[in-house]
A = this chain, B = another copy of it.
Amino acid sequence: MIIRKDGRGLSGIRPVKIEKGYLKYAEGSAYMEIGNTKVICSASIEEKVPPFLKGTGEGWITAEYGMLPRSTQVRKVREVTRGHVEGRTAEIQRLIGRSLRSAINLKALGERTLWVDADVIQADGGTRTASITAGFIALVDAIRWMKQEHLIEPHLSVIQHQVAAVSVGILNSQCYLDLTYEEDSVAEVDLNVVMTDKEEIVDIQGTGEKRPYTPDELQQMLTLAKMGIKMLVQEQKKVLGLEKKPLP
């Protein structure tokens, strides 16, 4: 049996710690650690929608992703200094936005934009999936606040299901769940999976980094991802107290 550097088996996820309401000013927020990866998410309400939604009565969710310069092993130049958002950042913020939007009844939001910001304090693999998992918490936190403030009518169902995400990869032809940075950088195949609490797929993105992979391998990776997401969905339920009060 393979034991990983940090003592996990192939299908283990790293220790998870999630804190809701981490930021004083944001309408919704969450702090999440998964192993050494640490992310702060906030959800901010803006009373405005992008031009293509004006007059439709519908709302929108936009995500932005950033990394502190020293969240990484080598200091990263700030994007404002580079002068533009990097391709990787753009790809990640599009993924987070798409994933969270899929969980939401945008009509129930009214003509408002929810800005979900995910900022990485420390990066040890899985920052984009952690941003989705924690971003979902911040979103629920903000929607509850909106209902409490009577910005949304209490009987409207705004959030349709939970959304969580995890990474899987193949190393030496073995499937690994929840890769660290070190594992990720030598993985042959790398798959990010976003799923609901009903085990339906919201988004998958899988790349043969070192070699192409077979549909069978995809199947195995998906199975592992499902296990990881099940655990993360439980963590979300706990932090959000979903046994007692339902999704808003």
Residues of A with Cβ closer than 8 Å to B?
23-26, 29, 36, 40, 42, 44, 46, 64, 66, 68-73, 75, 78-88, 90-91, 93-94, 98, 102, 115, 117, 119, 121-122, 124, 161, 195-196, 198-209, 211-215, 218, 222
Contacts of A215 in B (CB 8 A): 199, 201, 222
A sample of 15 cross-chain residue pairs with beta-carbon separation below 8 angstroms, ordered by A number, consists of A23-B71, A23-B121, A25-B72, A25-B122, A26-B75, A42-B68, A42-B75, A64-B78, A66-B68, A80-B80, A200-B208, A201-B208, A202-B207, A203-B208, A204-B206
Closest 5 A-B residue pairs measured CB to CB?
A: A200-B212, A87-B90, A42-B70, A79-B80, A44-B75
Min Cβ gap A144→B in Å is 17
Contacts of A85 in B (CB 8 A): 80-81, 84, 87, 90
Q: How many copies does the complex hold?
A: 6
Contact (A102, B204) CB under 8 Å given A23-B122, A69-B42:
no
Residue in A94, A195, A196, A212 whose Cβ sees the most chain B Cβ within 10 Å? A212
Asked if A93 contacts B87 (CB within 8 A), the reply is yes
A115 nearest in chain B by CB position: B75
Q: In the bound complex, how far is the Cα of B83 from the Cα of A82, in angstroms?
A: 10
Asked if B64 contacts A69 (CB within 8 A), the reply is yes
Contacts of A42 in B (CB 8 A): 68-70, 75
Known: A23-B70, A46-B75, A201-B208. 7 other contacts (CB 8 A): A64-B78, A87-B90, A198-B212, A200-B208, A204-B205, A204-B218, A205-B205
A101 nearest in chain B by CB position: B209
